[in-house]
Amino acid sequence: MTDFLKKLKGWQLLLLAAVLTAAIFAAGGIKGYMTETSAIKNGSLVTAQLQPEDFELVAFKPVEGGWRTTDTDPQMIYTVNGLFASIYMEMDSLLYTGDVVLYYTNPGDTAWSRQKRIFLVPDKDNPSCYRGSLPVQDVQAIRIDPGSVGGNLLNFGDIIINPPHTMADYFDISAYTLLMYRVYTLFIGAILRFVQEFFTKSFE
Pair (20, 109) in one structural domain: no
pLDDT tens, residue by residue, 107-119: 999 999 999 999 9
Report the chain's terminal Cα–Cα distance, integer Å: 17
Ramachandran category for residue 167: left, alpha or beta (phi over 0 → left; psi -120 to 50 → alpha): alpha
Listed range (9-13, 89-93, 118-122, 130-134) with the worst mean pLDDT: 9-13
Q: Crossing angle, helix 10-41 and helix 175-202, to 10 degrees?
A: 130
Report the number of distinct structural domains present in the chain: 2
Q: Which of 7-11, 142-146, 195-199 has the highest mean pLDDT?
A: 142-146
pLDDT at 176: 62
Quick check: is 43 in a domain? no
160 close to 87: Cβ distance less than 8 angstroms: yes
> Domain residues for 13?
2-37+172-202
| Mean pLDDT of the region 152-178 | 79
Quick check: is 190 in a domain? yes
Pair (152, 57) in one structural domain: yes
pTM of the prediction?
0.74
Quick check: is 42 in a domain? no
